[in-house]
Structure 1
Amino acid sequence: MTHGTVEKRTLSDRLLSGLEAAGNKLPQPFNLFLWLFGIVGVVGTIAAWAGVSVQVPGAEEVTPVRGLFTGEGLAWFTANLGPNYLGFPPLVTVLPILLAIGIAEKTGFLSAAIRAAIGSAPRWLLPYMVGFLGVVGSIMADSVFVILPPLAALAFAAVGRHPVAGLLGGFAAAGAGYSTSIFPTSLDALFAGITNAVLPTVPTVEAAAAPVNPVSNYYFNIVAALLLSLIAGFIIDKVIEPRLVRTGVPTTPQASDPGAPTTHTIDDEGNEVVVDTAAEVNHALTADERRGLVMGGLAVLGVGVVMLAATLVPFSPWRNEAGGFLPRSPLLSSIVFIVFTLFAVGGYVYGRSARTIEGFNDVPRLMGLALKDMIPFLVLAFVMGQFIALFNWSGIGSWIAVAGADGLEATGLTGFGVIVLFILLCSLLNLFIISGSAMWTIMAAVFVPMFGLVGFEPAFVQAAFRIGDSATQVITPMNPYMIVLLTYLRRYSPQAGFGSLMSGMVPFVVPFWLGWLALLFVFYSLGLPLGPGNDIFIEELRR
């Protein structure tokens, strides 16, 4: 090893240590929102005492800024503590979908599907298959970071390719492309719920904008997932694997480091994760699992056909008054039901066919396990709901949105350039706040109404956020699953450190970021819809 290489790694370690130290000074998400709640309360109270008000474009009356620490504010808060929590929109969409995904995951349906896809891929296609499964793997939430990398390493080794390329590629694709998938996921429901929660800040935007639901970014997500899969596969095949070969990284596990074979870490919602990194992972499917996949897939297909037929027949109750589906219709309002049914039915049929469950009596147990996994989010949602409710009620959101929109118009930054700056800001903040729900709650409260006043649809702002929220989370020590990946990597290279991880992750970040941004620009330039009924601009508010 040359002196120059050592010096570069030392500099990398210093930068990473500085980033980690800065991130560690940030409060945990629950405490962060308590601080934000208090700040909004104090600022609103001062503004209320000063008689601050704002004229929202299109509104007949002036909106006064109200303060929490006034008689009116304290009465409002004490009377609405429960409604503020239970009325937090993401709860309505996220919880049902996660109950269904819990059935599909706990029965083994999702894991078996990933293992089947990897195991059936030919040697030349394997990097692209790993990239695809990583990008769309957010359907399994954080589980993808634990399940996919070791499976990908095993699949690479089985066809004579470098296993560490699969390990690093699977993790990078899952992390840098986390916000997109070809399937609607609980993350889509979560983001849509938060977006809807902040829209009342500026009633004119809420009235003029298209409704936001779990499929509002669906067209964009499908194209993005395919594009990022190709980028990930190319980088794995042409950059990562050749470098591993050149630098002589072993292709077989080495003597493990002293200590226990388990890794303990905390995920972005404060939940403890325990991973047995010494356990062998097998990608081969048993006969029961193969039968379960066939039957589960047929069940999903059958339910999909029935749903399609029910909506396409004339006078379907899922059509709108004009006989169509856009921009509003009972069909679009039923997205949560559709996703819930497909995953629940597919997971249950798989479980019965693969004999991982005994009968319907197991379903409540599986749902309970899925709900148990969501306890940290439910706790965080309590304080997030209070923050959003106060932000909307106080009028501070309207004040910031109008002032920000006027400022953007004065500088001339109201086109795609301001969206690029917004994505850059999200990417930088993502180095410190890797919880997507926490960061979108903060960013959406300010930027959705602000950009809405200059003519951008909330769904478009949400799509832009997804880029900044995902691309950089594989190069920050604040990502708890980096510790898990490092433990896996040390099975092949015992001396590996965070610098080693960065050298494997950085080649993905910039191409993912630029590719995703270029795709968003294509949608922007051509005025393509991001999802059913969701365009780029609110024409009547466009400046």
Structure 2
Amino acid sequence: MSLPSNQGSAAPASSPTDLSKKGWFIKFLNIVERLGNLLPHPITLFAMFCLAVILISGVAGYFELSVVDPRPEGAAGRSPDGLIHVISLMNGEGLRMIVSNLVTNFTGFTPLGTVLVALLGVGIADRSGMLSAAMRLLVIGASKRLVTVVVVFAGIVSNTASELGYVVLIPMAAMIFHSLGRHPLAGLAAAFAGVSGGYSANLLLGTVDPLLSGITEAAAQMIDPDYIVGPEVNWYFMFASTFLVSIMGAVVTEKIVEPNLGKYNPEDAAIDLSAQQMETVTPEEKRALKLAGLAALAVTVVIAALVVPEGAPLRNQTTGDVSGSPFLKGIVAFIFIGFAIPGLVYGKVIGVFKKDKDIIDAMSENMSSMGMYIVLVFFASQFVAFFKWTNLGAVMAVAGADALSAIGLTGPLVFVLFIAMCGIINLSLGSASAQWAVTAPIFVPMLMLIGYAPETIQAAYRIGDSVTNLITPMMSYFGLILAVACRYKKDLGIGTLIATMLPYTLVFFVGWVSFFFIWVFALGLPVGPGAATYYTP
């Protein structure tokens, strides 16, 4: 699907009239945008954080800052005097640690390898055209009555292939709504709500799962050195959240956003709308999708045979359970296989993969887009390691947990504040991995100390990280969305787009947080396979 030529151009600023119409919240969000623009690049930010940790550890070490270690006597990592001391990196020993571990900090950073391996499989499925064809078939084939909920749902599941939802689905949704006589910006908003507002939800495990779980595991090990957090630990909750967000997104679109947009005037468009054409799914693509679906089914059957029966080779050989099994520990390998094999079948049938070099090129092209992420991981991994070595994270976590206990805020209500805080931080630091790498080393240990499991904490974070994606210009694809919107309303500004998406953020926050409380605390359901709700040392 072709994109408008102005998508790479700078986003037009909101006019004063636009701001006055939309009220105080647009003015507030524009202040957030300006403040966000003052922040350095996330990579630079992590480099600065590394230097800050070194300096702060030196000062705190000089004054011998310490807190009482809450772990029981004899626990792994507990010092003989029962205190957690800040370790200074501003000395010879600190310099030796930094220099000798610089490479291993990077190569041993858990999210790096797991994300890259998963993306190799996703790359095959994406470059073969399978994911794009499946999305087009899902959305274009939807009935008029269900088209809104299908668009939102397709946006959520598109997150398994990074930019696919932004590049393919959002422009297509606007075209579909226009072809049905509905406002095209309502279609764009619905797709944007699914792709970005429902970012963490999905039916399948995707690349974001190992990315976040690796950071969570490193943070949890500040309190419990043996704690393991697998990529699958939020799957149950995120699977169910997919349907919740789809319904909420459809209701907001049809009951709030579309009526507020009013009747569409084609004269507002910056392009000739009659020239727009949607790429339908060809018979050959449908045949390839059927065969790819059969391949996916075959893969599922083989994996089930290796996991489900009692005594199966991929079960935990000690306990016989699925919990703690090689299957769950190696889930990234199955994400790779689950995308790669159907993608190979589709590519072969459609003629995209004619020889082995085509498959290698597909994986290589996907890896080439990860350059920025790899550089980010280098600095983020150093920050996480420095934070752990100095004990600053543990000291801050203990102090924070003591403060929460002192004011009596240790019950489930603490998660409302935590999710809201994550959403606010997301307004200025849009990357899920960058934000979690900064906040996890503080808040995971802190909330563990007042009794909550890392898996539950991570699930709560994912809500906050998702719901404000829709209203922050710091989100990497915000300019792209604005450019697509300007095709249908040539004078549309940032303020108008943010005001259009704000109802989704508010409804998603209230609805998703309520669902989290019902799921976790009212029903006592685990957020994922083998995931605990409460942490017991």
What TM-score comes out, normalization by structure 1 length? 0.90
Distance 1:254 1:454 in 2: 55
CA change 1:533–1:49 in 2 (3 A) is: same
Distance 1:281 1:477 in 2: 29
Distance 1:89 1:49 in 2: 32
Distance 2:37 2:474 in 1: 8
Matching residue's letter, 1:465:
Y
Distance 1:316 1:486 in 2: 51
Comparing 382-391 and 171-180, the one that deviates more: 171-180
CA RMSD of superposed structures (Å) = 2.2
| CA deviation map 1:181-203 (0-9, x unaligned) | 11100001100111112222223
In the other structure, the counterpart of 2:193 is 172
CA change 1:166–1:126 in 2 (3 A) is: same
In the other structure, the counterpart of 2:265 is 250
CA change 1:5–1:429 in 2 (3 A) is: closer
Identify which of 458, 463, 481 aligns with 1:462.
458
Deviation at 1:18, TM superposition (A): 1.9
In the other structure, the counterpart of 2:8 is none
What secondary structure is seen at the aligned counterpart in 2 of 1:201? coil
CA change 1:231–1:503 in 2 (3 A) is: same
Distance 1:428 1:194 in 2: 20
| CA deviation map 1:389-408 (0-9, x unaligned) | 11111111121111111111
| CA deviation map 1:234-276 (0-9, x unaligned) | 12222222333x3x3325872449xxxxxxxxxxxxxxxxxxx
Deviation at 1:279, TM superposition (A): 9.7
Distance 1:144 1:252 in 2: 28
Distance 2:300 2:323 in 1: 22
CA change 1:252–1:129 in 2 (3 A) is: farther
Matched, 1:230 2:247: yes
1:72-87 matches, within 5 Å, as 72-87=93-108
Matched, 1:47 2:44: no
Contact kept in structure 2, 1:256 and 1:490, CA below 8 Å = no
Distance 2:67 2:24 in 1: 49
What TM-score comes out, normalization by structure 2 length? 0.91
Matching residue's letter, 1:449:
P
Distance 1:160 1:6 in 2: 29
Matching residue's letter, 1:120:
G
Contact kept in structure 2, 1:150 and 1:281, CA below 8 Å = no
Deviation at 1:164, TM superposition (A): 2.3
Distance 1:279 1:449 in 2: 56
In the other structure, the counterpart of 1:221 is 238
Distance 2:343 2:399 in 1: 49
Deviation at 1:15, TM superposition (A): 3.6
Distance 2:17 2:341 in 1: 57
Distance 1:299 1:251 in 2: 44
Deviation at 1:384, TM superposition (A): 0.5
Identify which of 348, 353, 356 aligns with 1:357.
353
Matching residue's letter, 1:225:
T
Distance 2:398 2:60 in 1: 15
CA change 1:393–1:95 in 2 (3 A) is: same
In the other structure, the counterpart of 2:135 is 114
Distance 1:424 1:235 in 2: 20
What secondary structure is seen at the aligned counterpart in 2 of 1:285? coil
Matching residue's letter, 2:533:
I
Contact kept in structure 1, 2:222 and 2:394, CA below 8 Å = yes
Identify which of 210, 222, 227 aligns with 1:189.
210
What secondary structure is seen at the aligned counterpart in 1 of 2:471? coil
1:358-377 matches, within 5 Å, as 358-377=354-373
Matched, 1:411 2:432: no
In the other structure, the counterpart of 1:142 is 163
Comparing 153-162 and 353-362, the one that deviates more: 153-162
Distance 1:283 1:65 in 2: 60
Deviation at 1:51, TM superposition (A): 2.3
Contact kept in structure 1, 2:305 and 2:312, CA below 8 Å = no
Contact kept in structure 1, 2:149 and 2:250, CA below 8 Å = yes
Identify which of 177, 183, 189 aligns with 1:156.
177
CA change 1:64–1:15 in 2 (3 A) is: closer
Deviation at 1:494, TM superposition (A): 1.1
Matched, 1:34 2:31: no
Matching residue's letter, 1:37:
C
Distance 2:496 2:482 in 1: 9
What secondary structure is seen at the aligned counterpart in 1 of 2:317? coil
Matching residue's letter, 2:251:
F
In the other structure, the counterpart of 1:510 is 506
CA change 1:370–1:432 in 2 (3 A) is: same
Identify which of 33, 36, 44 aligns with 1:23.
36
Comparing 75-84 and 59-68, the one that deviates more: 59-68
What secondary structure is seen at the aligned counterpart in 2 of 1:154? helix
In the other structure, the counterpart of 1:264 is none
Comparing 183-192 and 478-487, the one that deviates more: 478-487
CA change 1:74–1:98 in 2 (3 A) is: same
Distance 1:200 1:493 in 2: 51
Identify which of 326, 331, 343 aligns with 1:330.
326
Deviation at 1:429, TM superposition (A): 0.7
Percent identity (aligned) = 37
Distance 1:356 1:317 in 2: 36
Distance 1:252 1:362 in 2: 45
| CA deviation map 1:442-491 (0-9, x unaligned) | 11010111111111110111001011111011112222322222222222
In the other structure, the counterpart of 1:434 is 430
In the other structure, the counterpart of 1:102 is 123
Matched, 1:199 2:214: no
Contact kept in structure 2, 1:528 and 1:535, CA below 8 Å = no
Matching residue's letter, 2:134:
A
Matching residue's letter, 1:102:
G
CA change 1:483–1:178 in 2 (3 A) is: same
In the other structure, the counterpart of 2:532 is 535
Contact kept in structure 2, 1:162 and 1:251, CA below 8 Å = no
Contact kept in structure 2, 1:137 and 1:178, CA below 8 Å = no
| CA deviation map 1:364-395 (0-9, x unaligned) | 11111111111100011000010011111111
Matching residue's letter, 1:534:
A
Matching residue's letter, 2:286:
R
Matching residue's letter, 2:123:
G
In the other structure, the counterpart of 2:388 is 392
Distance 2:370 2:103 in 1: 19
Q: How many corresponding residue pairs?
A: 513
Matched, 1:524 2:520: yes
Which runs of 5 or more residues in structure 2 are unaligned? 1-15
| CA deviation map 1:50-102 (0-9, x unaligned) | 22334422244244321111111001111111001101110121110011101
Deviation at 1:287, TM superposition (A): 2.2
Comparing 136-145 and 294-303, the one that deviates more: 136-145
What secondary structure is seen at the aligned counterpart in 2 of 1:202? coil
CA change 1:324–1:280 in 2 (3 A) is: farther
Deviation at 1:360, TM superposition (A): 2.7
Which runs of 5 or more residues in structure 1 are unaligned? 258-276
CA change 1:291–1:13 in 2 (3 A) is: same
